[in-house]
Every structure is written in C-alpha cells, then in structure tokens.
C-alpha cells in the first residue's frame, strides 16, 4: 500500500479565520511534504474554488472541503464536507445561510462588547471587519489586542467575547449534511469529542451524537486530529468500525492564528492507518498521485 500519512484534510485560509491566502497555502502545503490536502474554511467554499483555478499539475493532490459551524438543541457540531461540487446550489444555499448568521453574530458581538465593557473600535476597523468573507471571534479578538483591551486574542475570546450566547439561529447539522450530500459530497464530523467551549464528549454521549448524525446522512469521523490523544482516537476508531464510517485526518491549521502546523494530524504516530481511512481515500479517488 502507498504511504498516506502525509495527508491533511483540515486547514483554513483568510476566507475564514486562517492567516494564509488561498494562493499562499498551496506552496506551504507543498513545502510541508503533504501529498493530499483539503481547504475547509468555515461556512464558505470560496477558498476551494480559488485553489481549483490556480492549482498546477505538479502541486499536491486536492479535494474540496468546507466546515459548517452547526448547533441544535443538544449542542454544537462542526460538520466537514469533502469532494463536493462547489458550484452546486445545494451547498451554496448552506453557505449563504451560514454567512448570514455569521455576520449577524459579528455585529451582535461588537454591540455586546461596547454595551457591556465600553470596548469600541474606529469605524474604518469595523468596516474592514464586516468586509471580510467570514469574520469571527479570532478577528474581533485580534482587534481587542490591537487596541489594548486584552493582552492576547485567547484572553479576548475566553474572558469577553464568549460571554454572549446565541440561543436561536444556527445552521442545523441536518441542513449542513443535506447540503453536502446534495452537492455530491461526503459529510464528516470534525474533531468529534469537542463540544461547546471546553466540553469533552465521550462514551455513550458520543455514540448518541454520532448515531443521530448518521440518521441525517453522516458518513465519517475526523479521528486523526492534532488535538487528539491515542486514547481518544482508540474510542473513536471503535465507533467508526462499528458503524462502518469513513475516517479522515486533519490538522486544523490556521496559520498564525493557532499553534498547529500543517500535517500535524497524528497519522505519523500510526504504524498503519485504519481501514476506514483507506476507504475514504478510495472513495475520493486518491491513489497516491493525481486525483
């Protein structure tokens, strides 16, 4: 079998909350020795369409990706979509809804910071923030650091931004999964054990969530992941095997916004990746060369 441990299917560009332009990330992926990659910007496919336009035959193999931020009555989920048609109306509809809700949250967070703590920013900074494709908490956190309200972006998010809660409007996981499937893609649960905030989901609760999502059409779990220990992976492998789910690998690279490197997936800790990972690669047509 080919050595597929240099695969990274979870990374972000400036289209969401990464610091690398789509044009830059191809070169960085290549320099990192990654053989197959996917860009998974939050609630948007623009980075993928750009890479499809500029990628050259000698560049690493690529599949389309996206990460939808979802929530329902039981909690928060991040749903990855892979190998979909980015021109499909099915996925474009989910993107439009996700973007609408994201922009609503940004303005609400700015109002909250002003009303509760007196944190204000120049209008040109707000205009720039709202002009971004998918502004989020890291962008606001960086502004707070810039204007001296906190020392770090992490402090800004944890101590201030996260104090506002949104209980009503979210992209629901079933809608994200339906959109990915409708575009011919493969829906996968990102970093499955991570819930809302610092919540860690394991055991029966994890199985309950996975079974619910399978009912909507979920096809895989992201198990090779930068933040997972061997023990966490072991429990998730058991679930994937039991329900015949694909297994994917991703670092969750954000450039300068996170201390995570490209290719940091845990795959290299394995003597041989699990069978569900090979099944995923076969499904997307990857054999170690061109797709």
pLDDT in tens, 218-241: 999 999 999 899 999 999 999 999
User: Residue 3: its pLDDT value, please?
Assistant: 66
Q: Residue 233: which of 262, 209, 215, 206 has the closest Cα? A: 206
| Cβ proximity of 19 and 255 under 8 Å | yes
| Cβ proximity of 249 and 222 under 8 Å | yes
Could you please report the per-residue DSSP string of 215-259? HHT--EEEEEETT--HHHHHHHHHHHHHTT-EEEEE--B-GGGSS
Q: Residue 248: which of 78, 33, 60, 74 has the closest Cα? A: 78
Q: How many helices (H) and strands (E) does the chain have?
A: 10, 8
**Total Cβ atoms within 10 A of residue 136:** 20
- The tokens describing 139, both together, are 């962008």
User: Residue 170: its pLDDT value, please?
Assistant: 83
Q: How far is CA 30 from CA 62, 255, 286, in A?
A: 11, 15, 17
Ranges of the chain whose pLDDT falls below 50: 1
Helix axes 89-117, 173-182, angle to 10 degrees: 150
Q: How far is CA 184 from CA 30, 91, 94, 223, 247, in A?
A: 27, 9, 14, 22, 18
Domains of the chain, each with CATH number or no CATH? 7-95+173-283 (3.20.20.140), 101-163 (1.10.150)
User: Residue 199: its pLDDT value, please?
Assistant: 78
User: Residue 258: its pLDDT value, please?
Assistant: 84
Instruction: Write the pLDDT tens digit of every residue in 8-26.
Output: 999 999 998 899 999 999 9
Residue 239 CB burial class (10 angstroms; 0-12, 13-18, ≥19): middle
């Amino acid at each position: 079998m080919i050595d597929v441990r240099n695969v990274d299917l979870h990374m972000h560009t400036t289209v969401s909350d990464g610091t690398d332009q789509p044009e830059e990330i191809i070169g960085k992926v290549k320099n990192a020795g990654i053989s197959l990659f996917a860009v998974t910007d939050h609630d948007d496919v623009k980075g993928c369409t750009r890479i499809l336009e500029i990628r050259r035959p000698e560049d690493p193999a690529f599949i389309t990706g996206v990460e939808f931020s979802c929530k329902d009555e039981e909690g928060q989920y991040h749903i990855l979509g892979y190998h979909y048609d980015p021109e499909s109306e099915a996925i474009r509809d989910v993107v439009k809804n996700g973007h609408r809700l994201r922009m609503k949250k940004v303005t609400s967070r700015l109002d909250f910071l002003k009303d509760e703590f007196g944190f204000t920013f120049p209008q040109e900074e707000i205009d720039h923030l709202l002009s971004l494709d998918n502004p989020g908490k890291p962008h606001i956190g960086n502004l707070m650091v810039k204007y001296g309200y906190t020392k770090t972006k992490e402090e800004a998010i944890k101590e201030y931004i996260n104090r506002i809660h949104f209980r009503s409007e979210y992209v629901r996981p079933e809608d994200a999964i339906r959109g990915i499937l409708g575009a011919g893609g493969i829906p996968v649960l990102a970093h499955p054990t991570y819930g809302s905030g610092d919540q860690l989901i394991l055991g029966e609760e994890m199985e309950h969530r996975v079974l619910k999502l399978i009912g909507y059409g979920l096809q895989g779990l992201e198990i090779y992941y930068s933040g997972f220990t061997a023990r966490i992976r072991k429990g998730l492998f058991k679930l994937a095997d039991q329900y015949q789910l694909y297994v994917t690998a991703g670092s969750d690279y954000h450039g300068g916004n996170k201390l995570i490197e490209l290719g940091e997936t845990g795959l290299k800790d394995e003597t041989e990746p699990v069978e569900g990972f090979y099944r995923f690669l076969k499904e997307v047509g990857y054999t170690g060369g061109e797709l």
